[in-house]
Amino acid sequence: MKLRNIVYSLVSISCLGFFSCQEGDLIDNPNVANANAIIPRTLLLNHLTATMIRTDEQPWALSAGGAQYNISNYQYYRFNNNYNYGNTSDSYDILKYALSLEEQAVKQSGNNTNVYFALSQFFKAYSGIWLSQRVGDIPFSQAGDPKNLTPVYDNQHDVYKSALAMLDNANTLMNNLIVATPALATQKVDTGGDIFNFTYLQWQKLINSYTLRVLVSLSKRAQDNADLQVVQKFANIINKPVQYPIMEGNTDNMVYVYNAVNRYPIYSLQLNSYNNFSNPGFTYLNIGAQTKDPRIFITSTPAPAEITAGKVVSDFSAYIGSDVNLSQAVLLTNSDNGMYSFANFNRYYVSQTGANAEPFIFIGYPEMCFNIAEAINRGWVTGQNAGDWYLKGVNASLATYGLKEGQTVSINFPISSTNVKVNPKGLKQGDTWGTATVNIAQFIANVTYAGNNATGLNQILTQKYMAMFNNSGWEAFYNYRRTGMPALLSGGVGIGTANGVLPRRWMYMATESAYNTQNYQKALQDQFGGVDDPLKDSWLTK
């Protein structure tokens, strides 16, 4: 599943969407006369917020395949399921714009204590974490200097240490601004430049909630790298809510909004009934069916063959996910025979704005709740109840789907099919197939927190995974890579790697071996014995 192998229609739609949100470009802006010119901070912030989320991180894209939420059964129309991770893209465009925002913030405000400087620190940290968690050691401390075209590689430990310092500085600056002028808390930072339309306080909450994500991602290194102070920093944020405010509900979520120009990624696929060529994954639907999770009534449909055999659409055992271990030829045959569930056609394919779909949360409150629950379970935080935070995360995720106790939901027929074995009633795609009643109480009882033990930790990680369905970019895959939970399928020919092993990282950007050869080769030697091997762990996940 190389990053370049995303289906063409998704690339064209998504790229158009991202650039339609921008007001200008640092390189191509004809108003920028030279390197010393004044560049509107609004323009820079607009570019950063509009391009922060990449094509492969959107709903139904490669990140959803990597986490096995969505499995393709036909490469031409959707994508290749193979985990053959090639050379990664990079985040240096984010770093470049963040450095420019940092410079312009000082130049135009005469200080380094203003809101744009604070946000530049967040985006600098974000760019470093984004790339380092993909590949390992990266050029970071020397990156972005036009006079140094061969920057040294910072080891992954130092990248994270620097990024955490930047995030803490960003929070301190935001906090100082709000304390000095309390009215700023509810004031939008930049209605023209910030596509997320956050207030000062919401940005501060976002910065701290993202920091909690970063700290949890360091769980394997928390005990053997005392200088990072992973546990202390996490507890400090939780124990000092005035100094370190965090998200308080779904209204604080970082949500990427689609519109008539910036269309929902798979909207155009409905024109050719491409729902036929993709199925929800086994891991996702199996968890949902076992726990009687009402979210799968919303996201998915039962397998047609199960209904033809006599089950009703509200029977959780009729929801059958696709096995990524199998070749796409076998998957297509099985899918054509109605053996697998499909995505909810009316929810995801018929609105160009994604009006029927759940919001695309990139960094959000449900995930934050699970991160806090995990930290408490691991003993990082005292005086807090992991079960409470776990339940908050579950309920917050349910709320993003608009689910209510006793609600009746319609299940629509998912595909265009004249096969009487799977469509004996001759239903058209999108026709009502039946209804199901939402039983939240039953689901909550089935996932009751088992306590601060291994079982409880697995529950937290599993429900975090369920909450990240088509959300949060690659974060679900990163959580699996770090914890092994939930157990994604592997070992079969469909995985595409040696022995069907899931990869641990991407390979470095192709340009590094050509333009920064000496430092690139040293980084490979220091980490992986000289080979850019995607099956080897970096420091972060060893």
Q: What is the pLDDT of residue 14?
A: 30
Q: In 245-323, which ranges are E strands?
A: 254-256, 278-280
Q: What is the pLDDT of residue 36?
A: 73
Is-contact 502 477, C-beta < 8 A? no
pLDDT tens digits, residue range 118-163? 999 999 999 999 999 999 999 999 999 989 999 999 999 999 999 9
What value does the mean pLDDT take over residues 4-17? 28
Q: How far is CA 385 from the centre of its chain?
A: 26
- Quickly state the pLDDT bin for 482 (edges 50, 70, 90): very high
Q: What is the pLDDT of residue 20?
A: 31
What value does the mean pLDDT take over residues 496-506? 96
Is the model's pLDDT at 12 over the cut of 50?
A: no
**Can you spell out the DSSP letters for 57-123?**
GSTTSHHHHHTTSEEES-TTTS--------B----HHHHHHHHHHHHHHHHHHSSS-SHHHHHHHHH
According to the CATH classification, is domain 1-37+55-88+269-499 in 3.10.20.30? no
Q: What is the pLDDT of residue 152?
A: 98
Is the model's pLDDT at 275 over the cut of 60?
A: yes
What secondary structure letter does DSSP report for 219?
Answer: G
List, in order, residues 6 or more apart from 137 with CB less than 8 Å away. Answer: 153, 154, 155, 156, 159, 523, 526, 527, 538, 539
**Mean pLDDT over the full length of the chain:** 92
pLDDT tens digits, residue range 425-444? 999 999 999 999 999 999 99
Query: How do the domains of the chain map onto residue ranges?
Result: 1-37+55-88+269-499, 500-541
pTM for the structure as a whole: 0.93
Is the model's pLDDT at 30 over the cut of 60?
A: no
Lowest mean pLDDT segment, chosen from 41-55, 71-85, 375-389, 399-413 = 71-85
The encoded tokens of residue 230 equal 């992973």
Is the model's pLDDT at 358 over the cut of 70?
A: yes
Q: What is the pLDDT of residue 220?
A: 98
What value does the mean pLDDT take over residues 40-64? 96
Closest of 195, 191, 146 to residue 35, by C-alpha: 146
What value does the mean pLDDT take over residues 251-259? 96
Is the model's pLDDT at 277 over the cut of 70?
A: yes
Give the span between the Cα atoms of 462 and 390, in whole angstroms: 11
Within 10 angstroms of residue 109's Cβ, the number of other Cβ atoms is 14
Give the span between the Cα atoms of 444 and 452, in whole angstroms: 18
What value does the mean pLDDT take over residues 250-268? 92
Give the span between the Cα atoms of 402 and 396, in whole angstroms: 10
Q: Which residues pair with 355 in a beta bridge?
A: none
What value does the mean pLDDT take over residues 225-245? 98
> Which residue has 């607009």 as its token pair?
46
What value does the mean pLDDT take over residues 345-352? 92
Closest of 257, 190, 155 to residue 43, by C-alpha: 190
Is the model's pLDDT at 73 over the cut of 90?
A: yes
Q: How far is CA 75 from the centre of its chain?
A: 23
Is-contact 94 130, C-beta < 8 A? yes
Is the model's pLDDT at 22 over the cut of 60?
A: no
Task: State the DSSP H helix or E strand holding residue 412, giving kind and residue range, or none if neither.
Answer: strand 408-412
Lowest mean pLDDT segment, chosen from 35-49, 151-165, 325-339 = 35-49
Tell me phi and psi for residue 413, to 5 degrees. -70, 130
Q: Burial code of 81-108, b = ≥16 C-beta within 10 A, e = fewer?
A: bbbebebbbbbbebbbbbbbbbbbbbee
Q: What is the pLDDT of residue 267?
A: 86
Q: What is the pLDDT of residue 3?
A: 27
Closest of 237, 226, 113 to residue 168, by C-alpha: 237
